[in-house]
Structure 1
């Protein structure tokens, strides 16, 4: 069945104004100023009444198998349910392993990526985890990226964190080179996605790698940079050198005195003229531990819902929607080389979000409605209805 969304205020993410969007076979067939005349075939017409239609969000940092485990086996988080993503407006995810890349494996990560695809999301993966030597499927980072279709790069390799393997610059350079070369071989992103802890070394290693190797700036994708203000300052400097930075939508209740709220971090990138070098992600499925002198003092649980909260916060601060949207949509799609994602364009995938009161109320993933009237209409295999 065709789906025709009429009277949509389209942000592609650039504002297009009032448009009528025709969807068929999981793709956007047309975007027109006049309602198209369609006869002889079944069609579902949905009048959006001027509500804003935006691209589906891309969450490039999700613990799709669950994260955590830092405080014992009972603190390992379960895999998030399908509707945890869709009700937040997320239609594409990149899954990863974190602290526990010992009992959780790349094979298990890929299984969950394939499961999410079968349930209607678009999903990819980072190989590896916090530590070196890396957890891989084939035994080598370059081979994983070159031969396993969903794997885009390596992540989240931990630096400046007491939980990391304390990698040397030489070791990180070797992994980054494998990512870069595999990207050249395949046309994939070939990115090294880096977890930043709150250690004093900060982003110094990335600066040194840019200064002393031939690796291009796009190879490095540091995340969690808003965990303290000094780290965010370093990240803005790296953005000026061509590095794409990822800000984490930490829940406000988790914020420490020195942490920069995600909305404020995004505003700083806009003010500095570096919006094109910014992505945002949720750390969904992961535990949010707070340490003092290496000891766990409290823990929270992250979800992709933080992205919906972040967008609403940005709009509430007066950030225009066309400026707020790219880090959620077009920028990660272009940076991670995800074809047909991140924009509302003819021929693109029908990953669409309707906003009401600045939050997702309807969500379509690959042409199928997953959320209507703010409630999930498609659920994961083991989800129960409300």
Structure 2
């Protein structure tokens, strides 16, 4: 089933260990009309509501309640294609997102905008909204000139509601279009001005490969243009040690005038020559760099290809949105990081950068997007519940809403 209308009843969550993402202790939360409308004082209860209002009460019994995850890099129509037609990854389903704790998603195209199209991406973005999650998308893919819906980057961002910027434009990668500096700057300028006109993020989300040029184009843009650093959002920075070190150096040098840097939560068996996202977050903190400059995305649905030195594909995996929560668990377990330090990389930092209003934090007036995480014996932070825009998507670990073509789950 899919949600056909906003919930008519109120939902009262009792005894939540609330992380907003700052730790707020034991609280009650009242949800109505897809919004968070009331939060009790610490260790206090909200007054009982009349039964005639149709309130549904759920006792969280001290479980962690955190904002729904905001994943800014997901191949919702499927990625891949570098290994021929059979290597095209299938589209992601609703439950692949919800069972990973993702309540807000930004979809994109990757290497292939030949057999994949912006029409397909925008349509899938609207479909995900209807199915129950909040969804946006980037226009373009690896290529320059940018493959758009309206034949104009500015028009795409200004006139197409879900489109918030350009991504994932590829640099320092043998699969990119090898853009010149002027071409790169022109795309960034179009994104920036379109964001100003539309009130959207106006962000250029950049795929970084293993090439030796690394962040060179971004450095040159910061040095030789008037564009603000917030326009640039490079991702996959933990794919190799040299690139990660370069990202650290750029933030150290420029401080508040540095771009936000995006880590990829690679699957555990696909880290390769780089760092896991959990290890990268810990290394970033040890270096004394601000966690406010970091975001983390999953590359869900994307192909994780392995190339030889001649650029020939010799194997690949598939990105999973579930690696976001895996990263949170690993960073706590292996590095002793607190939820208050970790959660912003997956919630508030992303929502603020992308101007996703009402997302990424649990405050009165925000969208009712939240996760219930329980500690079970030696398995901490297990996903027990997911609420998206006030609707239970997952309850007691089981999907409550599934996509129309998800066989065997309804």
Same structural fold, with TM-score higher than 0.5 when normalized by the shorter chain = yes
Q: CA RMSD in A?
A: 1.0
Residues 298-353 of structure 1 deviation map (CA, whole Å, 9 limit, x = unaligned): 11011111112111111212110100100100000001000000000001000010
Residues 232-289 of structure 1 deviation map (CA, whole Å, 9 limit, x = unaligned): 1111223342210110000120121x21111011112323232101110000011100
CA contact (8 A) 2:267 2:320 kept: no
Which residue of 2 is the match for residue 329 of structure 1?
347
CA contact (8 A) 1:217 1:243 kept: yes
Which residue of 1 is the match for residue 284 of structure 2?
269
Determine the C-alpha separation between the residues in 1 that align with 2:177 and 2:47.
58
Would you say 1:305 and 2:322 are equivalent positions? yes
Which residue of 2 is the match for residue 189 of structure 1?
201
Partner secondary structure for residue 100 of structure 1:
coil
Determine the C-alpha separation between the residues in 1 that align with 2:197 and 2:381.
41
Which residue of 1 is the match for residue 6 of structure 2?
none
Which residue of 2 is the match for residue 32 of structure 1?
40
CA contact (8 A) 2:251 2:289 kept: no
Would you say 1:251 and 2:267 are equivalent positions? yes
Where in structure 2 are the equivalents of 1:136-215 lying within 5 Å? 136-215=148-227
The count of aligned residue pairs is: 385
Partner secondary structure for residue 227 of structure 1:
coil
Structure 1 residue 12, shift from structure 2 partner:
0.2
Which residue of 2 is the match for residue 352 of structure 1?
370
Determine the C-alpha separation between the residues in 2 that align with 1:218 and 1:237.
17
Structure 1 residue 149, shift from structure 2 partner:
1.0
Residues 184-241 of structure 1 deviation map (CA, whole Å, 9 limit, x = unaligned): 1111110000000011111111111111111110010000010001101111223342
Determine the C-alpha separation between the residues in 1 that align with 2:271 and 2:213.
21
Match 1:279 to one of 278, 286, 295 = 295
CA contact (8 A) 1:312 1:359 kept: no
Structure 1 residue 58, shift from structure 2 partner:
0.3
Determine the C-alpha separation between the residues in 2 that align with 1:67 and 1:214.
34
Moved more, 369-378 or 65-74: 369-378
Partner secondary structure for residue 401 of structure 2:
coil
Match 2:405 to one of 359, 382, 386 = 382
CA contact (8 A) 1:315 1:358 kept: no
Partner secondary structure for residue 238 of structure 2:
helix
Would you say 1:120 and 2:132 are equivalent positions? yes
Determine the C-alpha separation between the residues in 1 that align with 2:283 and 2:227.
27
CA contact (8 A) 1:61 1:93 kept: yes
Q: Which runs of 5+ in 1 are unaligned?
A: none
Determine the C-alpha separation between the residues in 2 that align with 1:153 and 1:239.
22
Structure 1 residue 177, shift from structure 2 partner:
0.3
Determine the C-alpha separation between the residues in 2 that align with 1:359 and 1:345.
23
Partner secondary structure for residue 110 of structure 1:
helix
Q: Which runs of 5+ in 2 are unaligned?
A: 1-8, 375-379
Which residue of 1 is the match for residue 358 of structure 2?
340
Which residue of 2 is the match for residue 133 of structure 1?
145
Determine the C-alpha separation between the residues in 1 that align with 2:266 and 2:214.
18
Determine the C-alpha separation between the residues in 2 that align with 1:353 and 1:238.
34
Determine the C-alpha separation between the residues in 1 that align with 2:119 and 2:363.
34
Would you say 1:3 and 2:3 are equivalent positions? no
Q: Under a length normalisation based on structure 1, what TM-score does the superposition of the two structures give?
A: 0.98
Determine the C-alpha separation between the residues in 1 that align with 2:192 and 2:222.
13
Which residue of 1 is the match for residue 377 of structure 2?
none
Where do 4+ consecutive residues of structure 1 move more than 6 Å? none
Partner secondary structure for residue 331 of structure 1:
helix
